[in-house]
Amino acid sequence: MNSLRRILALVIKEFAVIMKDPKSRFVVIGPPLIQFIVFGYAATYDLQNVRYAVFDESRSVLSRQLLAKVEGSTVFLQAGALSNHTQISEYIDNEDARLVIHIGPGFDRTLQASRPAVVQVIADGRNPNVAMIALGYLGSIVAEFNQDLVRQGVVETTAPGLFLVERSWFNTNLESRWFFISGLGGVISMVVVILLTSLSVAREREFGTFDQLLVAPFTPGEILIGKSLPGIVFGLLDALIFAAGAVYWFGVPFRGTITALVLALLCFIITMVGVGLLVSALSMTMQQSLLGSFIFLMPAVTLSGFATPIENMPLWLQKADLVNPVRYIIIALRRIFLEGADTPMIWPHLWPLLIIASVTLPLAAWLFRHRAV
Amino acid sequence: MSRGRLFMMRLRGILRKETLQILRDPSSIALAVVMPLVLLFIFGYGVNLDAEHVPVAIVGTDTSGVAGDLLGRFELSPHFEVFQVKTMSEAEKLLGLRHVDAVIHLQTDFSTKLRSGQQTPVQLIVNGIDANRARLIEGYCRSVVNQFSAILRARGEGAGYPPVTLAQRIWFNEDAQSKNFMVPGLITLIMTLTGILLTALVVAREWERGTMEAMLVTPLRRIDILLGKILPYYLLGMLGMGLSVTVAITLFKVPFRGSLTALIILSSLFMLASLGMGLMFSAAIRIQFVAAQVSIVAGYLPAFFLSGLIFDLESTPRFIQIISHAVPARYFVAISHTLFMAGDLWSVLLPNGLVLAGMAVLFIGLAFKNITKRLER
């Protein structure tokens, strides 16, 4: 009972520290929300308005028919028409166009004679991802054009014997925005939690008030709970706001269960509080704790599988990444949002988080007293 | 003594003080040299968009003849790791459990159909959760199928040619290797941070520790303080930059086609803009904690999301593109991609370099305005 009262007093004090300071108050709610919206729009691999230039030497009905198909697609945006070869390198070099479509003078005649015609495409490889995806789109436009030709009876060639029928599961239109936004909330609420908790102990150490806390009748466990709760409450609040934002603002489907979502976020936030408090307990000054949290944040976010797949990493790095808590929540959130996972289905991604938390939290509590000053 | 001599004397004094401070507190050397190298090493391996050994399940009861040949093609491709299964339901279960990322289905009458010259589908089901990866897998599959069709035609077994085919060339990066694109971008990301963090803390630190007051009573002018805070950290940052570029070229084998002069000039501009940004925060805020927090929120995250380092800016909504113009990293990402892969194309380098120069002047100017020789504001 006494213990509960002491914890309550400490929790009230910790919340007051955040809520009384306008800067801290602001850091917790304002910027994270703006970041969520801005980055939510920025994080996408879906191409739009890929600028291309056309060098049409054929100027025939057929070549125009093909180009009209390209122009009609939302992916491409025409940036110019070329009249000679040297302009190709000008356009690509100056980044005036990322793709040049070159139709040779014999395009029409070759097709009429039922011989295969070749269309040249030059792509700017400075962004290979954009180049490859744009070429893929162009390939499917050409395949469609080929079918049109056969249907119209313009050419007598039969369609190719083998063809690929593509289907995708869980995300039928292959929208990458869903993929990013479902994980984005996890990343941003993590930054908030780490910034909040990593400073809590270090600030008191620097101001000298931590000694007062240590001589007060609190056990390290009680201090730990008092220091954790604000981070957990604000982190979870932010994460839930982001989850709602993902569904109602960005229109990401929510196919899983709310219980699974809350449970996963809670496990993750507790783990993050553990990491933040550990960093804080290890550092003597705020500067050290900021550098510490920063050294944790950068690799943890970059290697979380949020932007680039973990499967593409070399094996040794994939193994090392097993201790990265962020990877688990990213996978769990995606499975809950997009695959409709419930609690048992995401459990494999939660217990590693709990293990990390059960190491960092007690270690932080121990370090409160035992960190050599 | 002339004014010039006096200026040089003061400058020498503060430069000596800052240099000694850097040398005696290894944390800024660690920040400028060790951290970039470690991060570049990890990220260079870890951030990769090229998929290899994608696990796929192939459903094919008939492994003889043509179907077997096609299966062999998939097995040979470095992009796939093939698991053979007998039934479609088995394969779908594997896909649901995420043991495989795609299912390729060859129907039982695949060989007969193909031999009799009919249209023969190769069914592909991909897990669309990671849309980018799904598109890559589709692309890899398409190229295997297309190559196989070409072989069949050469053997005279397949039916017809497609009327129009694409002949594609990718300039500057023939194999479309994502590391050539990622590593220069990562250098930008890492150096943005290093630059901002290096200076974000230095002025605020002097205020917090009270040593700023000691400096205020010396005959140092504001311009001396500014130069003293920028020059040593500029050299330190450029050292980190030079080492990162060396690692990119030697370890990650990214081609470098530009000139060293262009690299030094343009990265100097970028470094000055980042240092200036940090100094501006630091001088305006005077509290290390907030200064560092602002650097992470205004430096790291925008450099990651809004620089074109990973996500293509031109595909984002208009207002995002407008916001991105305020991010210095955006300009250096464009510069480094061109310098590394394409060479000294001044039509790209010059406009981006000029913006960086403008930003450097603006940030350093604002920092200068905020460095006062008074205690109260």
* Model pLDDT for residues B87-127, shown as the tens digit of each residue: 888 888 888 887 888 898 888 888 887 777 777 888 888 88
CA distance A286 to A292: 10
pLDDT tens-digit series, residues B301-341: 888 889 988 888 888 888 999 999 999 999 999 999 999 99
C-alpha B328: how far from chain center: 14
A43 to chain B: closest CA residue = B311
Rounded Cα–Cα distance for residues B146 and B141 (Å): 8
* Cβ contact A142–B193 (<8 Å): no
**Chain A residue whose CA is closest to B166:** A119
Which phi and psi (to 5°) does residue B259 adopt? -100, 155
The tokens of A27 are what? Answer: 């850091």
pLDDT confidence of B170, banded at 50, 70, 90?
confident
Contact B293, A195 (CB under 8 A): yes
Report the pLDDT averaged over residues A159-168: 65
Q: Which residues of A touch B341 (CB under 8 A)?
A: 125-126
Nearest CA in chain A to B307: A42
Q: What is the rounded average pLDDT for all residues in chain A?
A: 86
Model pLDDT for residues B27-75, shown as the tens digit of each residue? 778 878 888 898 898 888 888 877 778 899 988 777 677 788 888 888 8
Q: How far is CA B346 from CA A90, B12, B262, B297, B349, in A?
A: 12, 37, 9, 32, 5
Query: Where residue A57 falls among pLDDT bands split at 50, 70, 90?
Result: very high
Residue B63 vs residue B230, higher pLDDT: B230
Question: What local confidence, expressed as pLDDT, does residue A350 receive?
Answer: 94
Under an 8 A CB cutoff, do B169 and A94 touch? Answer: no
Distances from the Cα of B221 to the Cαs of B10, B214, B216, B371, B373, in angstroms?
8, 13, 9, 10, 8
Q: Do A161 and B172 touch (CB under 8 A)?
A: no
φ, ψ for residue B64 (rounded to 5)? Answer: -90, 165
Please compute the mean of the pLDDT values over residues A318-345 and round it to a whole number: 91
Using an 8 Å CB-CB cutoff, list chain A residues near B102.
none
Residues with Cβ within 8 Å of residue B12, at least 6 apart in sequence: none
- Of B244, B291, B305, give the one whose Cα is nearest residue B270: B244
Q: How far is residue A224's CA from residue A366's CA, in Å, rounded to a whole number?
A: 9
Q: Supply the pLDDT for residue B289.
A: 67
What the block records as the tokens of A26 is 């602001």
Residue B160, pLDDT > 70, answer no
State whether B312 and A93 contact (CB < 8 Å).
no
Contact residues on chain A for B161, CB-CB shorter than 8 A:
116, 157, 160
What residues of A are in contact with residue B107 (Cβ under 8 Å)?
none
Distance, C-alpha B274 to centroid of its chain: 16
Contact call for A171 and B124, based on CB within 8 A: no
Neighbour count for residue A249 (Cβ, 10 Å) = 13
| Helix H or strand E segment including A55 | strand A50-56
Does B58 or A166 have the greater pLDDT score? B58
Compute the average pLDDT of residues A20-42.
81
Q: How confident is the model at residue A137 (pLDDT cuts 50, 70, 90)?
A: confident
CB B306 within 8 A of CB A55: no
Using CA atoms, how far apart are residues B195 and B325, in angstroms rounded to an integer?
A: 19
Does pTM top 0.90 for this prediction? Answer: no
Instruction: Establish how many alpha carbons lie within 13 A of residue B160's alpha carbon, considering only the half-sphere containing its beta carbon.
Output: 21
The burial class, CB within 10 Å (0-12 / 13-18 / 19+), for A251 is: exposed
Q: Of A127-131, A187-191, A285-289, B7-11, which gets the smallest average pLDDT?
A: A285-289
Q: How many CA atoms are closer than 13 Å to the CA of A317, on its beta-carbon side?
A: 21
Distance of CA B366 to the CA centre of its chain: 28
Tokens read off for A54: 């056309």
Side by side, the strands of the sheet bearing B102-105 are A162-169, B120-127, B102-105, B54-59, B80-85
Among A65-69, A268-272, B55-59, B287-291, the range scoring the smallest mean pLDDT is: B287-291
Residue B180 bridge partners (DSSP): none
* Amino acid of residue A77: L
What share of chain B in percent tops pLDDT 70? 95
Residue A115 pLDDT class (50, 70, 90 cuts): confident
Contact B305 A47 (CB under 8 A): no
Rounded to the nearest 5 percent, the helix, strand and coil shares of chain A are: 70, 10, 20
Partners of A132 on chain B (C-beta within 8 Å) are: 136, 139, 176
Rounded CA-CA distance A13/B159 in Å is: 79
Asked if B312's CB is within 8 angstroms of A127's CB, the reply is: yes
Picking from A167, A18, A357, A109, the residue whose alpha carbon sits closest to that of residue B91 is A167
| Contact (Cβ atoms closer than 8 angstroms) between residue A349 and residue A332 | yes
* Number of Cβ within a 10 Å radius of residue A171: 22
CA distances from residue B313 to A48, A135, B168, B302, B333 in whole angstroms, order as listed: 10, 18, 24, 12, 11
Residue type, B302: P
Contact B314, A50 (CB under 8 A): yes
Residue A171 has pLDDT above 60, yes or no: yes
pLDDT at position A276, please? 92
Q: Assess whether pLDDT exceeds 70 at residue A373.
A: no
- What is the mean predicted confidence (pLDDT) over A270-283? 91
pLDDT at residue B159, rounded to an integer: 55
**pLDDT of A289 above 90:** no
pLDDT band with cut points at 50, 70 and 90 for residue A161: low
Does the pLDDT value for residue A174 go beyond 70? no
Please check whether residue B342 is in contact with residue A93, taking contact to mean a CB–CB distance below 8 angstroms.
yes
- Angle value at C-alpha B312, between B307 and B314, nearest 5 degrees: 100
Chain A closest-CA separation from residue B377 CA (Å): 19
Rounded to whole angstroms, how far apart are CA atoms A43 and B317? 11
Residues of chain B neighbouring A152 (CB-CB closer than 8 A):
none
- Rounded to an integer, what distance in angstroms lies between the CA atom of residue B256 and that of residue B269? 19
CB-count burial class (<10 Å; 0-12, 13-18, 19+) for B64: exposed
Helix axes A128-152, B178-209, angle to 10 degrees: 140
- How far out from the chain centre does Cα A285 lie? 32
Please compute the mean of the pLDDT values over residues A95-121 and round it to a whole number: 88
Instruction: Quote the minimal CA–CA distance from B15 to chain A in Å.
Output: 23
Whether B142 has a pLDDT exceeding 70, the answer reads yes
- Predicted pLDDT at B112: 80
Shortest CA gap A4–chain B (Å):
32
Residues of chain A found within 8 Å of residue B299, distances taken between Cβ atoms:
none
Alpha-carbon distance A299 to A355, whole Å? Answer: 20
**The pLDDT of residue B161 is above 70:** no
Cβ(A299)–Cβ(B39) under 8 Å? Answer: yes
Q: CA angle at residue A119 from B115 to A157, to 5 degrees? A: 35
Q: Which of A71-75, B117-121, B220-224, B262-266 is predicted with the least confidence, judged by mean pLDDT?
A: B117-121
Which of A290-294, B155-159, B200-204 is the most confident on average?
Answer: A290-294
Mean pLDDT of chain B: 85
Report the residue from A136, A150, A339 with minimal CB separation from B139: A136
Q: Are strands B120-127 and B54-59 parallel, antiparallel or unpaired?
A: unpaired
SS3 for chain B, per residue? CCHHHHHHHHHHHHHHHHHHHHHHCHHHHHHHHHHHHHHHHHHHHHCCCCCCCEEEEEECCCCCHHHHHHHHHHHHCCCEEEEEECCHHHHHHHHHCCCCCEEEECCCCHHHHHHCCCCEEEEEEEECCCHHHHHHHHHHHHHHHHHHHHHHHHHCCCCCCCCEEEEEEEECCCCCCHHHHHHHHHHHHHHHHHHHHHHHHHHHHHHHHCHHHHHHCCCCCHHHHHHHHHHHHHHHHHHHHHHHHHHHHHCCCCCCCCCHHHHHHHHHHHHHHHHHHHHHHHHHHCCHHHHHHHHHHHHHHHHHHCCCCCCCHHHCCHHHHHHHCCCHHHHHHHHHHHHHHHCCCHHHHHHHHHHHHHHHHHHHHHHHHHCCCCCCC
Better-scored residue on pLDDT, A218 or A160: A218
Best of A38, A75, A77, A96 to substitute, by most chain B Cβ atoms within 10 angstroms, is: A38
Nearest CB neighbour to A41, from listed B50, B160, B316: B316
- Residue A42 is nearest to which of B139, B320, B348, comparing CB atoms? B320
Q: How far is CA B205 from the centre of its chain?
A: 31
pLDDT band at A240 (very low <50, low <70, confident <90, very high): very high
Whether the predicted pLDDT of B256 surpasses 90: yes
Characterize the bridge pairing of strands A117-124 and A99-103. antiparallel
Of B129, B163, B301, the CB nearest to A338: B129
Which residue in chain A has the smallest CA separation from B300?
A298
